[in-house]
Amino acid sequence: MSELFGVSADTLILIVAMLLACYMAANIGANDLANAMGTSVGSGALTVKQAVIVSFFLELAGASLAGGHVTNTIRKGLIDPALLSNSPELLLIGMFSALLAAGIWVHTATLLGLPVSTTHSIVGAVVGFGILAVGFFNVSWNMVFTVALSWVVSPLAGAIIAGAIFYLLDSKILRSAAPYRSAKSMAPYLLGTVVFVIVLSVIYKGLKNLGLNFDFLEALLIALPISLAGGFAGAALLSRLGGPQCRWIKGSEVEKVECVFGYLQIMTACYVAFAHGANDVANAVGPLAAIFSIAQTKSVVMQVEVPLWMLALGGSLVGVGLLIFGSRVMETIGRRITEITPVRGFCAEFGAATTVLLCSRLGLPISTTHVLVGSVIGVGLMRGMGVLDLRVIKNIMYSWLVTLPFTIILSMIIYRLLVWAIV
C-alpha cells in the first residue's frame, strides 16, 4: 500500500488515468457529439466548422455548469465508496480498471464497426470492479437498476417530447394559413423554453461550486423572467439577423419557415452541445475524479465535489475530440441525412437535449445518441421524417446486451490482475 502511494507510483497511475480519460473524452467527441451535431449539419443549419466551434464552447459550459451530477453518480453512486474507506487503494485501482476496461471496449467496438455507447461501457465497467471490490450484494443495485431503466425511458421521453413538438409545429405553423408569420410569432416561446430548461438545470442546486445554492422555487422564480427575456431578446435578434433575409427568400412560404428554423436550430444545436456536456463528460471524468481525489488525499473522501477544472478539462477534451476526429463523421452524416430539414432537426434536437438535460439533473448517465435516435423516431411517428429503419432499435438492444457483460467481465479481470500485481 505504501508503495502504491509512493510519489512515482501515484504519478504513474495519475498520468495513465489522465491519458485514458483523454482517450475516452476524445472518443465521446468523435462519435457521440458528432452524431448529435450531425443533425444540424445535415439540415444545413450549421457548417462543420461552425458545429465544431459551437460544440467546443457549449460542451465546456454544459460540463462545467451542469456536469457534476452525472459525474458524481459514476464516481460514487453505483458503488458506495464508504465501504472501501479502509483501503482507498482498492477504489483507486478499481476506478482505474473501469476506465481501462471501458476504453478497451470502446476502442475494440470502434475497430469492429459496432455501434456502442461510452455511457453503457463505463457504467458496466464500474459495476464490474464493484462486484469484486465491495461484493455483489453491496453494489448499489437500486441505482444500477434506475440507470438501466433510464436507458429505456430516455429514448421514449425523447420520442414523446420531439413528437409532441413536431405535432405542435405541424398544426400551428406548417398547416396554418400564414406559416411564416406563425413561425415568427412562435419563435420567442420556443427560444424561451430552451433558455428556461437550461437556466433551471444550471441554477437548481447546480452552482454549489460558486457557493450559490437555490431550492426549486427560487430557481423557478429566477429562471422564468430570464427565459422570457431571453426568448424575446433572441426573437428580436433573430428578426434583425434572419428575419429580412428569410422574408425575401425566393420560394414558397414553407421555405421561409425552414429559413427561420435554420436560425432556431443553431440554438437547439447549442442546447444539444450543452446537454451533452452535462451528461457525457462524466463518462471520462467520473472515474478520473475518484482517482484524483484518492491520490491527493490518500483516503476515500465523500463530501468533496468534483473540481470545476476537471469538468472543464473533460468538456474541452470532448470538443477537441470532435475537432480532430469528429469532422469526418459529421460530414458523412450531413451528406447522408438529407431527410432532416431545419424544422425536423429543431424538434429532434429539442426533444433529445431536453431529455438529456433532465436526466443529467437527476444524475442519470444516459446515451445521448440513443435519445437522439428516439427523438428522430418520435418525429417520424408523427409522419414528419422520411424513411426510418426501425431495426436500429433491435441493434441498440443487442449493443446493451453485449456491452454490459463484456465491460463487467473485462473490468473484473483487469481489477483482479492489478490487485494481484500491486497490493
Partner 1 sequence: MRTSFMNLFYKSPFVNLIKHAEKVIDASRMFKEAVDLYLEGKYDLFEAITDQVARVESEADAIKRNIRGHMPRGVLMPVDKFQFFMYLREQDSVLDRVEEALYWLSNRHQAFDSEINEDLRFFVATTLPAMEKLKNLVEMASGFFRRGSEEERETIKSMIRDVRQLEHEADHLERELKRKIFNRITDAIQVYYLIRLVEIIGSIADHAQNATDMMRAMISR
Residues that bind partner 1 (CB under 8 A): 30-31, 35, 38, 110, 113-115, 170, 174-177, 179, 252-255, 257-258, 329, 332-333, 336-337, 339, 341, 343, 369-370, 372-373, 376-377, 380-381, 383-392, 394-396, 399
d(CA 56, CA 320): 7
Question: Least separation, in Å, of the C-beta of 60 and partner 1?
Answer: 23
Considering the complex, state which of residue 217 and residue 387 has its C-beta at the smaller distance from partner 1: 387
> Three-state SS for 175?
coil
Question: Least separation, in Å, of the C-beta of 220 and partner 1?
Answer: 34
Question: Least separation, in Å, of the C-beta of 389 and partner 1?
Answer: 4
Cα 415 from chain centre: 27
Considering the complex, state which of residue 47 and residue 252 has its C-beta at the smaller distance from partner 1: 252
Question: Least separation, in Å, of the C-beta of 120 and partner 1?
Answer: 12
d(CA 133, CA 301): 17
Outline where 134-252 has alpha helix (H).
Answer: 141-169, 179-203, 216-241, 243-247
Single-letter code of the amino acid located at 175: R
Considering the complex, state which of residue 277 and residue 326 has its C-beta at the smaller distance from partner 1: 326
Considering the complex, state which of residue 34 and residue 219 has its C-beta at the smaller distance from partner 1: 34
Q: What is the DSSP string of 41-81?
A: HHHTSS-HHHHHHHHHHHHHHHHHHH-HHHHHIIIIISB-G
Considering the complex, state which of residue 34 and residue 203 has its C-beta at the smaller distance from partner 1: 34
Cα 388 from chain centre: 23
Question: Least separation, in Å, of the C-beta of 184 and partner 1?
Answer: 16
Residue 303 C-alpha cell reads as: 463530501
Considering the complex, state which of residue 165 and residue 295 has its C-beta at the smaller distance from partner 1: 165
Question: Least separation, in Å, of the C-beta of 44 and partner 1?
Answer: 13
> What are the beta bridge partners of residue 79?
139
d(CA 224, CA 220): 6
Q: Judge whether 253 and 180 are in contact, CB under 8 Å.
A: yes
